[in-house]
């Protein structure tokens, strides 16, 4: 039997996969496509994470799609609202019929002879394998493992008689009312959990080894609201999106060029919202520069408010060992706890764990170089969505999808069937995700790299990417376009084993 064939196979039905499919439907109306999704739901991250208070930590006007503006009241939205938004987008655009749920892609093999991918997917319900073929493979599978988050080996953890929970596997029935909760971590998840749990818990302690930068911003965007009230949506939303995208880009660029100034501003901002005499130096002043790691956004300064209320506190120390009743710290202090939440991060996973091969040779992802941040050197007819780390994911996601559509149309117009990115001549390499955060550093060797200059360098600069990806030339020194073998073109379709 011949396997099913589509022009474009999208892997993942999260924010990126649904966006990619909508762009494809609009911009390449003749192309057939299917989305393979390992889970039984649309939404990815925003369906998976269920901990109290789960929310965006970038504004929704830029985290939403360019073609479907965010109309919610708040600029910082809760996880359920984001998930609903993705599902409504999928429904409105008729995407549900294109998705095959419970299909995990495990391997994709490119054949130059046939100018196509043969993709193996495993059903997550029955365990059965099936094979599809496609002309273009589009990875929208996020960047981390879904089956488990990262938990360091804490000494003595088995002795602890309370409950240990990772935010990625939040039990529906976790009863924390009246309990003493310790949240280990200092990133966005810890900063979200602490204020969200203080209403019910007896006390919540954020236990961090080192602090993170925290930026308090209003949960509602007054400028956006004013524009939304005064202007028609078609005019207002692009303006709001550009305003916020530029603000994020400027903040990042300023942090890079004048880190000392941004450090001082962040420190002063925290001090103003914390009780008088609070030790901001110890608890909210990291050693690294702003944006070496992600900056945590606090809507309406909620974490600072929680500390002011006395129901939450921050401890900056090292864990010596878990004990029966809590955690003993290097300073000798013992934190008593009924529940410990390990908000210690994610395990990165590139391209959803699938393996790739090209003409029989397995691809070592760590040795590839990303071309324009969206294709990989030596891997034909393949793109992946990795959003910004310093601004909303979707700003980049939309540009990646637009680029792939332009590329497919360009290839059709010029009679090309194959597009293969090349590695830069310079041997200089940097990680594609250029953050100093532990979860990135743990996986650097396994992730694609970036080169020293365009089109292989990531600038984390939205206006620059708009020029490059939306308007820039599709043919340059970083990519080779070719035609499929004559027999393949003549046949129109290709027989595969
Ligand atoms: C708690 C949390 C908060 C975040 N907050 C923000 C924020 O405020 N702003 C921001 O910009 N970013 C944020 N991010 C980053 C976030 O992941 C992106 O916003 C966005 O959700 C990424 O969408 P995605 O579709 O690319 O990936 P995901 O949301 O991870 O979805 C990937 C989908 O692909 C599927 N999949 C994976 N592998 C396979 C496979 N092999 N075969 C088939 N299907 C597969 C998964 O099941 C999933 O449905 C946050 C991340 C987390 C974890």
- Closest ligand 1 atom, residue 82 Cα: 21
Q: Which helix H or strand E contains 465, and what residues bound it?
A: helix 462-465
Distance 55 CA to ligand 1 centre (A): 13
- Closest ligand 1 atom, residue 106 Cα: 41
* Cα dihedral value 132, 134, 136, 142, nearest 10: -20
- Mutation test residue for ligand 1: of 42, 83, 141, the one with most atoms within 8 Å of CB: 141
Tens digit of each residue's pLDDT (9 = 90 or more) over 233-273 = 999 999 999 999 999 999 989 998 999 999 999 999 999 99
Phi, psi of 441 (to 5 degrees): -60, -35
pLDDT at 485: 84
Residue 280 neighbours by CB distance under 10 Å: 18
pLDDT over threshold 90, residue 292: no
Please give the average per-residue pLDDT across 215-228, as a whole number.
94
Q: Which helix H or strand E contains 489, and what residues bound it?
A: helix 486-491
Distance 403 CA to ligand 1 centre (A): 20
- Closest ligand 1 atom, residue 103 Cα: 43
Phi, psi of 343 (to 5 degrees): -85, 60
pLDDT at 2: 60
Distance (Å, rounded) from C-alpha 19 to C-alpha 63?
11
Q: Which helix H or strand E contains 335, and what residues bound it?
A: strand 334-336
Distance (Å, rounded) from C-alpha 221 to C-alpha 75?
6
SS3 333: coil
Q: Where are the alpha helices (DSSP H) in 127-216?
A: 188-197
pLDDT at 492: 59
From the list 458, 45, 16, 468, the residue with the least C-alpha distance to 252 is 458
Residue 365 neighbours by CB distance under 10 Å: 18
Q: What Cα–Cα distance (Å) separates residue 62 from each residue in 150, 229, 244, 384? A: 28, 18, 7, 20
From the list 422, 421, 417, 423, the residue with the least C-alpha distance to 482 is 417
Instruction: State yes or no: cis peptide before 455, omega within 30 of 0.
Output: yes
Please give the model's pTM, rounded to 2 decimal places: 0.95
Q: What is the CA radius of gyration of the chain?
A: 24
pLDDT at 493: 47
pLDDT at 1: 52
Distance (Å, rounded) from C-alpha 131 to C-alpha 121?
6
β-pair partners for 341: 165, 183
Please give the average per-residue pLDDT across 13-21, as a whole number.
98
pLDDT at 495: 40
Distance (Å, rounded) from C-alpha 186 to C-alpha 196?
15
pLDDT at 444: 81
User: Whose Cα sits closest to atom 19 in ligand 1?
Assistant: 393
Please give the average per-residue pLDDT across 186-203, as a whole number.
97
Question: What sign has the CA pseudo-torsion 455, 290, 320, 154?
Answer: negative
Confidence band for 494, pLDDT divided at 50, 70 and 90: very low
Distance (Å, rounded) from C-alpha 454 to C-alpha 36?
32
Is the CB–ligand 1 distance for residue 389 below 6 Å? no
Is the CB–ligand 1 distance for residue 104 below 6 Å? yes
Please give the average per-residue pLDDT across 106-110, as a whole number.
98
Please give the average per-residue pLDDT across 52-59, as a whole number.
94
Residue 434 neighbours by CB distance under 10 Å: 16
pLDDT over threshold 60, residue 497: no
pLDDT at 389: 85
From the list 386, 191, 168, the residue with the least C-alpha distance to 303 is 191
Is the CB–ligand 1 distance for residue 19 below 6 Å? no
Is the CB–ligand 1 distance for residue 12 below 6 Å? yes
Q: What Cα–Cα distance (Å) separates residue 268 from each residue in 188, 272, 307? A: 20, 6, 16
C-beta of residue 322 within 8 angstroms of C-beta of residue 336: no
C-beta of residue 395 within 8 angstroms of C-beta of residue 387: yes
Instruction: Please report, in angstroms and rounded to a whole number, the separation of the first and last CA atoms in the chain.
Output: 9
Give me the sheet containing 312-316, strands edge to edge: 163-165, 339-342, 180-184, 203-208, 312-316
Residue whose token pair is 């059965």: 128
Confidence band for 433, pLDDT divided at 50, 70 and 90: confident
Question: Beta strand pairing status for 296-299 and 312-316?
Answer: unpaired
pLDDT at 435: 73
Distance 220 CA to ligand 1 centre (A): 24
User: Whose Cα sits closest to atom 18 in ligand 1?
Assistant: 393
Residue whose token pair is 């990417």: 465
pLDDT at 308: 97
- Mutation test residue for ligand 1: of 9, 44, 55, the one with most atoms within 8 Å of CB: 44
- Closest ligand 1 atom, residue 144 Cα: 30
Is the CB–ligand 1 distance for residue 345 below 6 Å? no
Tally of CA atoms within 13 A in the half-sphere of 83 that contains its CB: 15
C-beta of residue 308 within 8 angstroms of C-beta of residue 132: no
Instruction: Please state the separation of Cα 144 from the chain's center in Å.
Output: 8
In sequence order, the 6+-apart residues with CB closer than 8 A to the CB of 397 are 15, 16, 19, 20, 385, 387
Q: Which helix H or strand E contains 245, and what residues bound it?
A: helix 233-257
pLDDT over threshold 90, residue 431: no
Question: Beta strand pairing status for 418-421 and 479-482?
Answer: antiparallel
Confidence band for 324, pLDDT divided at 50, 70 and 90: very high
Is the CB–ligand 1 distance for residue 451 below 6 Å? no
């Amino acid at each position: 039997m011949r396997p099913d064939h589509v022009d474009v196979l999208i892997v993942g039905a999260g924010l990126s996969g649904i966006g990619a499919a909508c762009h494809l439907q609009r911009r390449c109306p003749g192309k057939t496509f299917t989305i393979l999704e390992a889970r039984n739901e649309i939404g990815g991250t925003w369906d998976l994470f269920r901990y109290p208070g789960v929310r965006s930590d970038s504004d929704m006007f830029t985290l939403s799609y360019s073609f479907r503006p965010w109309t919610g009241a708040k600029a910082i939205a809760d996880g359920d609202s984001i998930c609903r938004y993705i599902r409504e987008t999928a429904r409105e655009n008729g995407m549900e019929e294109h998705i095959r749920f419970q299909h995990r892609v495990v391997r994709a093999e490119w054949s130059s002879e046939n100018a196509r991918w043969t993709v193996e997917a495993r059903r997550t319900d029955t365990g059965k394998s099936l094979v599809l073929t496609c002309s273009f493979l589009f990875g929208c599978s996020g960047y981390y493992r879904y089956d488990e988050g990262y938990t360091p080996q804490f000494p003595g953890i088995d002795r602890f008689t309370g409950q240990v929970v990772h935010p990625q596997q939040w039990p529906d029935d976790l009863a924390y009312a009246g309990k003493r909760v310790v949240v280990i971590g200092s990133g966005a998840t810890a900063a979200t959990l602490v204020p969200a749990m203080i209403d019910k818990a007896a006390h919540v302690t954020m236990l961090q080894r080192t602090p993170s930068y925290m930026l308090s911003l209003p949960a509602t965007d007054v400028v956006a609201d004013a524009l939304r009230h005064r202007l028609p949506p078609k005019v207002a939303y692009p303006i709001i999106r550009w305003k916020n995208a530029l603000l994020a880009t400027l903040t990042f660029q300023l942090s890079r060029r004048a880190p000392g100034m941004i450090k001082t501003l962040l420190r002063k901002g925290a001090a103003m919202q914390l009780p008088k005499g609070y030790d901001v130096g110890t608890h909210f002043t990291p050693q690294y520069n702003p944006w070496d790691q992600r900056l945590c956004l606090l809507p309406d300064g909620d974490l600072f408010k929680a500390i002011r209320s006395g129901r939450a506190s921050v401890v900056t120390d090292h864990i010596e060992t878990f004990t029966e009743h809590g955690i003993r710290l290097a300073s000798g202090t013992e934190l008593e706890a009924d529940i410990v939440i390990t908000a210690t991060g994610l395990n990165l996973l590139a391209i959803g764990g699938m393996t790739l091969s090209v003409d029989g040779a397995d691809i070592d992802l760590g040795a590839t170089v990303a071309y324009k941040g969206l294709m990989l050197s030596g891997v034909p007819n393949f793109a992946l969505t990795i959003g910004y780390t310093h601004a909303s994911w979707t700003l980049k996601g939309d540009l990646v999808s637009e680029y792939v559509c332009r590329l497919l149309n360009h290839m059709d117009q010029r009679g090309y069937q194959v597009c293969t990115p090349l590695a830069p001549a310079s041997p200089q390499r940097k990680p594609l995700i250029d953050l100093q955060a532990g979860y990135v550093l743990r996986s650097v060797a396994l992730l694609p790299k970036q080169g020293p200059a365009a089109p292989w360098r990531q600038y984390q600069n939205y206006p620059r990417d708009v020029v490059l990806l939306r308007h820039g030339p599709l043919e340059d020194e970083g990519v080779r376009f070719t035609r499929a073998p004559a027999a393949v073109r003549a046949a129109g379709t290709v027989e595969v084993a």
